[in-house]
Structure 1
Amino acid sequence: MTAKLIALAFVLSAVASTCLAAEPPGRYSMTTVEGSVWRLDGATGAMSVCGRKLDHWACESVTDDALALKEEVDRLTRENQELRDKLAKAEEKEAEAAPAPGKEPAPRSPYAKFPDHALDEMTDFVNAMIRRLQEMVQDLKQGESGQAL
């Protein structure tokens, strides 16, 4: 009788261990690290650090720098593509609005190269300002030398 009970216990323990091994693992796995508990969500891969906060336990999610970096790269890629599309549309409009042959096209931007005559006028203006400033300095020096100390 005892042999039958031992055999039955052995069979039941073997069946129980195989049944438990066949069950899928839980959604969360926990690991203790230096007084806190790290929780891994098996479904999403999110990590959290759990610990005692004042009078209760709380879990805070751990940011994944690689995931944040990938999201930023994806956002910048989308933005870059949008800007390229806008630039292509602007270039198409500019090509459609091109001046007739023989006409000088208007400058593309305010930072475009000045025409030669405008550059000459600006140079003359700056030279006149410098000459006037030099004359004012000479007048001041002559006024100071004429004053009695």
Structure 2
Amino acid sequence: MSTATSPLKFSTSIAAMTLLSSLVVGGIGSAAAQSMPDGENGRYALSPVADGVIRLDTRTGAVSTCSNTGAGWACYSVPDERAALDAEIGRLQADNERAKTELEKLKADLAARDPVVTGKIEEALPKTDSLKKADPKLAEGERRIEIPLPSDRDVDRVMSFLEQAWRRLVEMANRMQKDVSGKI
């Protein structure tokens, strides 16, 4: 029993077969120059995936994803996380070695110094409360800030200003209400 395939799947499989055949033919031509290890059919092992194939180079271990673009097949190497991790581990180990060397230098410098305190101090250090405020000085105690209170005349002026502002606000609200009610 046969199943129908879409033209896209058919053209993808034809392109994959063309790629495989070109790799096989190219591999035969270069077989004389490079000897293949025992048990291998060729240099590359291909595995199909949803959007193309994954190519494994059996000699170097490099992995690439190959897909059919509009212009033809293109392969892109997959980043090797192991190499990045190994490089980071190497960098951290080198940093550790530098830090150990510097720590040993600092310890040697510290040991070479003369001790500042040779014996136990008999007197206790005075206790101070850092949160407690110091006693005010006499000159600071004499300073005063005086704020003059407004006179009755100033209070009357402010009250009249507020009354006028309130009246204007009420008049404006009444005018708006008349305009709105007249147009409805």
Q: TM-score, normalised by structure 2?
A: 0.43
Residue 75 of structure 2 corresponds to which residue in structure 1? 59
Relative distance call for 1:90 and 1:48 in structure 2 (3 A) is same
Runs of 4+ residues over 6 Å off in structure 1: none
Q: 1:69 and 2:85 equivalent?
A: yes
Residue 20 of structure 2 corresponds to which residue in structure 1? none
More helix by share: 1
SS of equivalent to 1:95: helix
Q: 1:89 and 2:105 equivalent?
A: yes
Give the alignment of 1:107-146 within 5 angstroms.
123=130, 127-128=133-134, 139-140=144-145, 143-144=146-147, 146=148
Aligned residues: 106
Measure how far apart 1:38 and its partner are.
Answer: 0.6
Structure 1 gap ranges (5+): 1-21, 104-115
Quick one: percent identity of the two aligned structures?
30
Residue 51 of structure 2 is aligned with which of 13, 18, 35? 35
In structure 2, how many angstroms separate the alpha carbons of the residues matched to 1:32 and 1:68?
27
Relative distance call for 1:81 and 1:57 in structure 2 (3 A) is same
Residue 147 of structure 1 corresponds to which residue in structure 2? 149
Structure exhibiting the larger radius of gyration computed from Cα positions: 2
Measure how far apart 1:25 and its partner are.
Answer: 2.9
In structure 1, how many angstroms separate the alpha carbons of the residues matched to 2:79 and 2:85?
11
Structure 2 gap ranges (5+): 1-37, 120-124, 156-184
Relative distance call for 1:72 and 1:147 in structure 2 (3 A) is same
Residue 46 of structure 1 is aligned with which of 44, 47, 62? 62
